[in-house]
Structure 1
Amino acid sequence: MSLAIFDLDNTLLSCDSDHAWGEFLVEQGAVDGEAYRRANDQYLRDYRAGELDIMAYLSMALKPLAEHSEEQLNAWHQQFMACKIEPHVLPRGEELLAWHRQRGDFLLIVTATNRFITGPIASRLGVDDLIAIEAERENGRYTGRVEGVPSYREGKVTRVRQWLEQNPTLTLDDAWFYSDSINDRYLLEEVATPVAVDPDEELEKLARERGWRVLSLRTPSA
């Protein structure tokens, strides 16, 4: 059994689920609309430029989880899945997951989006496990703080290696990793088979230099 690792946003999905959740909260009136939207858009630009201050972003992004009940959050998430996520599930991404599943590979999503947002998405995609940013909880409620190492940039490598300690039958020596973002170069450099999926400009340049495979999941199947 080999390990097949997937980024989520703009890889298996044709959107950024973290940014989409922020937009959804604005639409629900759950946050200060215009100010939140401006900040959410700026953080997305920073991410794409490889300049995101992850802790500053998480301070904003996790705050709404602490301000609303779990019942309300879960009700919103069901709506979010239907209107913001399902239309962006890439059929070719599902085909790729199915191909690895048929090979008997272990399917792992590693994302810089928090588990509240991505847990149901990972379940929808039928993967075996998920590494995501962990939102701290106390007494059954979110605190608005992050727990542990954020799975972002080098943090993805740290979190995957921690996960491998608990899953010693799997290794990066024969692993695949699929991602669209230059932010994931650190984990791409660690695996046996790095694949740039509909990559941003910087990742495409790096992939060409390194001889990595470049794949599109957004074009129709041949």
Structure 2
Amino acid sequence: MSNTPYLAVFELDETLIAADSASLWSEHIAEKGLAPENQIAEEHELISAYAKGTMDMDRYMQATLKPIIGMDRRTLTQLVAEFVEEKIKPALYNDAISRIQWHKQRGDKVLVISATGEHLVKPIAKLLGADDAIAINLEQINGIITGRTTGTLSYQQGKVTRMKAWIAEQDIQFKGSYGYSDSINDLPMLDAVDRPFAVNPDPALALHAQMQDWTIMDWRHENNILR
């Protein structure tokens, strides 16, 4: 095994899991009575713009963080742990887990990157065995969630900005990089890696991948979801 690893970058929603984690989260906290019923409808309306690449990420984060404003970190951590167990574990793609394990066995570093809040992404990345995660950072004051975000949002070109900053902080030089995503929103990230893979691609990404002769992987086939 080489001492110089590759970097494997995975998008989260619809790539590693058969769902959108933020949507599942909205449903989960609504079930717990922590969010109004119209929260789910508003979230679904906003997420529809994501598929078109026209989402207002600031507005989306304001809407989805509203129910946890004023919550302390410990309470949020417990709530997210329940969420990961009840909603995320059953939605994991077997092929995604196998691909992460393939990279780990080679000695590669695995990074999950997502345009979802860090409170959800980091525990899911840990569950998947990733080395680290990049997500939208939440502002906290004295351990209390304010409902605001901080820093560069890890969305579209912002993912590349955050990824490059993360790489610069590492004490190793990567031999090369792999990238996996389902969404046309992640075209900047896929263009930034050496070996891009279109996983469960939306129509726009599928077309682009075909034109660029990228490898297309479909992890959505029957019996591939952990139930």
CA distance in structure 2 between the aligned counterparts of 1:44 and 1:73, rounded to whole angstroms: 23
- Give the CA deviation at 1:72: 3.1
Q: TM-score, normalised by structure 1?
A: 0.94
CA distance in structure 1 between the aligned counterparts of 2:18 and 2:57, rounded to whole angstroms: 22
Asked if 1:215 is matched to 2:222, the reply is no
Asked if 1:5 is matched to 2:9, the reply is yes
Identity across matched positions, percent: 35
Contact 1:10/1:16 (<8 A) preserved = yes
Tell me, what secondary structure is at the counterpart of 1:46? Answer: helix
1:167 maps to: 170
- Give the CA deviation at 1:167: 1.4
CA distance in structure 1 between the aligned counterparts of 2:132 and 2:186, rounded to whole angstroms: 19
In structure 2, what residue type is equivalent to 1:2?
Y
CA distance in structure 2 between the aligned counterparts of 1:48 and 1:59, rounded to whole angstroms: 19
Contact 2:198/2:206 (<8 A) preserved = yes
Contact 2:23/2:40 (<8 A) preserved = no
Tell me, what secondary structure is at the counterpart of 2:197? Answer: strand
Asked if 1:128 is matched to 2:131, the reply is yes
The number of aligned residues is 219
- Give the CA deviation at 1:216: 1.3
1:114 maps to: 117
In structure 2, what residue type is equivalent to 1:125?
L
CA distance in structure 2 between the aligned counterparts of 1:16 and 1:131, rounded to whole angstroms: 16
In structure 2, what residue type is equivalent to 1:5?
V
Q: Deviating runs (4+, > 4 A) in structure 1?
A: none
Asked if 1:180 is matched to 2:204, the reply is no
Task: Say what the alpha-carbon RMSD is for the aligned residues.
Answer: 1.5
1:82 maps to: 85
Gaps of 5+ in 1: none
Gaps of 5+ in 2: none
- Note the 1:1-222 alignment, pairs <5 A: 1-33=5-37, 35-167=38-170, 169-171=172-174, 174-219=176-221
CA distance in structure 1 between the aligned counterparts of 2:77 and 2:171, rounded to whole angstroms: 34
In structure 2, what residue type is equivalent to 1:147?
T
Contact 1:178/1:195 (<8 A) preserved = yes
Q: TM-score, normalised by structure 2?
A: 0.92
Tell me, what secondary structure is at the counterpart of 2:147? Answer: strand
Contact 2:72/2:143 (<8 A) preserved = no
CA distance in structure 2 between the aligned counterparts of 1:220 and 1:105, rounded to whole angstroms: 29
